[in-house]
């Protein structure tokens, strides 16, 4: 497998990076970097970590010698530690408070509980700003536990960007992927259709019953996409050969409408990308324009209700007039 870290790969411009990944041969991993400067979204770092975990021969790691200033960042965010790579960098570890959450592998509920507890002080934010962040992390990581069948758990990282006052979060797994998870209950043709279903409220891979099971309502991802939508931020989901990207809602568009069909949102979709075995999710949460979570819940309630009514109506038997 080969991966090249470009100068910049954030959710808005992640497409060329995804196109460039060479995932075919998992007997080795080769990582190269833009020589001048590398600045990437945490989803990218989590994806590299996931590729490394799925690399068969761990002695086949090739990392281009780094001359850029970014190497200190990679060291501190824990990329080299995950890769088991001695970068030779000797840096004084600063307190990461308020800046980033290093790449972490979470394998079970207890680890998730501890991670959330430890993470909160690092963010140095007010409770009303921390709540959606905790919410997003809990739901995404639990999705990995419950649906991905990943042996290596959830790989997570987050970074705070002071200039844009934004938290960027990546959660990645190398499990069965969305299509296989959803296919347990629905006939799905393509990865992009599977992503669409996964983001639709009330649909879960565990049942075809509207409203879900005792454990899954099929609402978690819809909530997360809605948090991004209401805050006019990016949300990306990549699984199999497909990627869905919720684009930023322009500020000039005053009224935010949540759609139960994610394709009705302002979004971009891509297929025939290099096949990602598992699921990678990235989300940005700008803390400036943070919408009150309560208001978001009002919108979600309305949309969820409407969607269930529409779905039930579709199943109504129609009288045959002959």
Partner 1 sequence: MKEIELFPKTGNFAENKDVARELRINEIIPALKNHQVVILDFNKVDSATQSFLHALISDIIRKEGYEIIDRLNFKNCNDTIKKLITIVTDYMQEEEPTV
- Looking at the Cβ atoms of 23 and 210, the one nearer to partner 1 is 210
Asked if 308 touches partner 1 (CB under 8 A), the answer is: yes
97-101 long-range CB contacts below 8 Å, 24 or more apart? 97/121, 97/122, 97/124, 98/122, 98/123, 98/124, 98/160, 99/159, 99/160, 100/42, 100/76, 100/157, 100/158, 100/159, 100/160, 101/156, 101/157, 101/158, 101/159
Q: Is 102 in the site for partner 1 (CB under 8 A)?
A: no
Q: Which is nearer to partner 1, 36 or 305 (CB)?
A: 305
Interface region with partner 1, contact rule CB under 8 A, candidates 171-179, 185-193, 203-211, 277-285: 203-211
| 114 belongs to the binding site for partner 1 (CB under 8 A) | no
Which C-beta is closer to partner 1: that of 148 or that of 216? Answer: 216
Q: Which residues pair with 61 in a beta bridge?
A: 29
Contact assessment for residue 87 and residue 70, using Cβ atoms and an 8 Å cutoff: no
Dihedral (CA of 41, 45, 47, 48) sign: positive
Contacting residue, 117, 124, 269, 272, with partner 1 by CB under 8 A: 117
Tell whether residue 160 is a contact of partner 1 (CB under 8 A). no
Dihedral sign for Cα atoms in the order 94, 159, 137, 293? positive
Stretch that binds partner 1, among 9-17, 129-137, 148-156, 268-276 (CB under 8 A): 129-137
Nearer to partner 1, 229 or 245 (CB): 229
Residue owning tokens 């038997």: 317
Q: In whole angstroms, what is the distance from residue 48 CA to residue 83 CA?
A: 9
Within residues 228-257, the interface with partner 1 by CB under 8 A covers none
3-state SS assignment for residue 35: coil
Contact between 216 and partner 1 by CB under 8 A: the answer reads yes
Task: Please pick, from the candidates 16, 37, 215, 289, the single residue that binds partner 1 as defined by CB under 8 A.
Answer: 215
Q: By the criterion CB under 8 A, which residues form the site for partner 1?
A: 109, 112-113, 116-117, 127, 131, 134-135, 138-139, 142, 202, 209-217, 219-220, 223, 293-294, 297-298, 300-301, 304-305, 308-309, 312, 315
């Amino acid at each position: 497998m080969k991966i090249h870290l470009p100068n910049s790969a954030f959710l808005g411009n992640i497409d060329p990076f995804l196109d460039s990944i060479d995932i075919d041969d998992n007997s080795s991993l080769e990582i190269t970097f833009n020589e001048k400067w590398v600045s990437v979204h945490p989803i990218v770092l989590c994806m590299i970590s996931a590729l490394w975990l799925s690399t068969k021969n761990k002695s086949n790691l090739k990392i281009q010698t780094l001359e850029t200033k970014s190497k200190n960042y990679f060291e501190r965010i824990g990329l080299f530690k995950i890769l088991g790579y001695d970068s030779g960098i000797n840096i004084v570890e600063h307190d990461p408070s308020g800046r980033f959450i290093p790449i972490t592998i979470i394998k079970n509920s207890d680890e998730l509980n501890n991670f959330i507890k430890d993470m909160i002080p690092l963010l140095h934010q007010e409770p009303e700003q921390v709540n959606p962040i905790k919410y997003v992390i809990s739901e995404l990581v639990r999705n990995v536990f419950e649906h991905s069948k990943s042996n290596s758990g959830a790989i997570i990282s987050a970074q705070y960007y002071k200039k844009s006052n934004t938290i960027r979060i990546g959660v990645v797994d190398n499990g069965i992927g969305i299509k296989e998870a959803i296919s347990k209950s629905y006939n799905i043709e393509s990865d992009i259709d599977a992503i669409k279903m996964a983001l639709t409220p009330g649909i879960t891979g565990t049942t075809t019953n509207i409203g879900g099971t005792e454990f899954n309502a099929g609402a978690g991802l819809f909530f997360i996409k809605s948090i991004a939508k209401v805050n006019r931020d990016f949300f990306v989901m990549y699984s199999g050969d497909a990627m869905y990207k919720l684009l930023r809602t322009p500020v000039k568009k005053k009224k935010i409408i949540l759609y139960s069909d994610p394709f009705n949102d302002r979004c971009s979709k891509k297929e025939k990308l290099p096949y990602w075995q598992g699921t990678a999710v990235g989300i940005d949460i700008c803390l400036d324009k943070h919408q009150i979570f309560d208001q978001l819940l009002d919108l979600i309630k309305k949309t969820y209700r409407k969607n269930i009514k529409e779905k039930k109506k579709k199943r109504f038997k129609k009288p045959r007039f002959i």
